[in-house]
């Protein structure tokens, strides 16, 4: 009887192990590693409406990097993409293909820098270890003091005190044969101009139900007036969310919200 019980426990342990290895997904590539750092940075800490800013992306501590796909996403309400400036591995001259469209090729043609959609920049390269003779060797030749690419934006935001911060994501990153851990630092700058009261998305210098309604309409895809400021968040930075509309409504109903000041 005891032997049967032992067999049952062993069989159950075997099934559990089989489930773990066969059913559970493999660990995802970590974005918090100690290896390379994909670092974005603007050439200014503050800029206002109409200013041109340069955004660079560099790779610190590249190690044996040979393959990289980097995507930068930005808010089209705050920034307008006006040009690619190339960089350490992508040329600044577009290459037009017979099938239509253009690309910003790496010098050896094994990658590109382009904008596949509004608010998005994508860079792909698979020859960071290019040896100049038609072969690829593991061990990147990246100068960490130079950006791998640069782009230019015109600042559209007319409000001050907003933190403009793109996002950086990495699709594949590693040697020719293996991925390895990495981390990202997106970089940011603050808009200049008159300061904005938190929650005052309408720009009328006061907090009313109109602000909560405008946030809801903005999130629903309505076309907003030019006075609408999507960065006038009640808490945190970035563009407004439904949480901001809820906080404004609660504050108007008498619930204390420190960021909005004394209740009306």
Whether 13 is in a domain gets the answer no
Tell the residue number behind the tokens 């619930």, with chain if given.
255
Residues 174 and 49 in one domain: yes
| pLDDT at 247 (0 to 100) | 93
Q: Read off the pLDDT of residues 157-177 as tens digits, 9 standing for 90 and up.
A: 777 888 899 999 988 777 666
CA distance 30 to 34: 10
Instruction: Give the side-chain half-sphere CA count within 13 A for 254.
Output: 0
Last residue of a domain, one of 191, 217, 252: 191
Distance CA 137, CA 63 (A): 12
In a shared domain, residues 166 and 65: yes
CATH of the domain at 169: 2.60.40.680
Does 148 reside within a domain? yes
Residue by residue, DSSP assigns 60-85 as: ES-TT--EEEEEEE--TTTEEEEEE-
Q: How far apart are the first and last CA of the chain?
A: 76
58 and 146: one domain?
Answer: yes
Q: Which residues contact 226 (CB under 8 A, 6 or more apart)?
A: 158
Residues 149 and 241 in one domain: no
**pTM for this entry:** 0.63
Whether 252 and 127 map to the same domain: the answer is no
Question: What does the pLDDT look like over 219-241, one tens digit per residue?
Answer: 999 998 888 988 888 887 778 89
Q: Are 39 and 150 in contact (CB under 8 A)?
A: no
- Closest of 172, 151, 184, 147 to residue 74, by C-alpha: 151
Domain boundary, last residue among 191, 223, 250:
191
- Indicate if 187 and 214 belong to the same structural domain: no
Q: Has residue 57 been placed in a domain?
A: yes
Q: Which pLDDT does position 17 carry in this prediction?
A: 40
3-state secondary structure 130-193: ECCCCCECCCCCCCCCCCCEEEEEEECCCCECCEECCEEEEEEEECCCCECCCEEECCCEEECC
Amino acid 142: pLDDT: 57
221 and 249 in a common domain? yes
Domain of 241 in residue numbering reads as: 209-260
For residues 57 and 104, membership in a common domain is answered with yes
* φ/ψ of residue 153, rounded to 5: -130, 150
- What pLDDT does 138 receive? 44
Q: What is the pLDDT of residue 253?
A: 94
Q: Which helix (H) or strand (E) holds 251?
A: helix 242-252
| One domain, residues 108 and 237 | no
Sign, CA dihedral 253-256-258-264, equals positive
245 and 187 co-located in one domain: no
**Domain-embedded: residue 251:** yes
**Can you give the pLDDT at residue 150?**
84
Q: At what angle do helices 242-252 and 209-219 cross, to 10 degrees?
A: 160
- The total number of structural domains in the chain stands at 2
Distance CA 232, CA 202 (A): 9
With respect to residue 7, please indicate whether it lies within any of the assigned structural domains: no
Residue 166 in domain: yes
Per residue of the chain (264 residues), give pLDDT as tens.
Answer: 445 555 555 444 444 443 333 333 333 333 444 678 889 999 999 998 899 999 999 888 776 676 778 899 998 888 999 887 765 554 444 444 343 334 444 444 445 677 778 889 888 765 554 444 444 444 445 555 567 788 899 998 777 888 899 999 988 777 666 777 888 999 999 988 777 788 999 988 889 999 999 999 999 999 988 889 888 888 877 788 999 999 999 999 999 998 888 888
Q: 149-155 and 167-174: which strand pairing?
A: unpaired
pLDDT value of position 37: 87
Dihedral, CA of residue 71, residue 76, residue 82 and residue 88, to nearest 10: -20
Does 9 map to a domain? no
């Amino acid at each position: 009887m005891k032997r049967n019980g032992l067999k049952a426990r062993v069989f159950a342990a075997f099934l559990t192990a089989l489930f773990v290895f066969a059913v559970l997904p493999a660990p995802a590539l970590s974005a918090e590693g100690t290896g390379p750092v994909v670092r974005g940075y603007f050439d200014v800490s503050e800029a206002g409406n109409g200013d041109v800013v340069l955004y660079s992306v560099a790779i610190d501590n590249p190690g044996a990097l040979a393959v990289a796909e980097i995507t930068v996403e930005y808010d089209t309400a705050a920034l307008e993409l006006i040009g690619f400036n190339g960089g350490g591995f992508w040329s600044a001259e577009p290459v037009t293909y017979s099938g239509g469209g253009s690309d910003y090729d790496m010098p050896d043609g094994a990658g590109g820098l382009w904008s596949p959609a509004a608010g998005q920049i994508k860079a792909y390269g698979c020859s960071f270890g290019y040896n100049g003779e038609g072969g690829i060797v593991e061990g990147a030749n990246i100068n960490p003091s130079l950006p791998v690419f640069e782009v230019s934006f015109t600042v559209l935001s007319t409000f001050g005190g907003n933190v403009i911060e793109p996002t950086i994501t990495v699709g594949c990153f590693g040697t020719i044969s293996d991925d390895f851990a990495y981390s990202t630092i997106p970089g940011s700058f603050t808009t200049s101009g008159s300061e904005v009261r938190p929650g005052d998305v309408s720009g009328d210098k006061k907090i009313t139900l109109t602000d909560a309604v405008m946030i809801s309409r903005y999130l629903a895809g309505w076309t907003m007036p030019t006075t609408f400021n999507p960065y006038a968040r009640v808490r945190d930075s970035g563009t407004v969310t439904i949480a901001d509309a809820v906080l404004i409504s609660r504050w108007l109903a008498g619930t204390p919200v420190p960021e909005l000041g004394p209740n009306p």
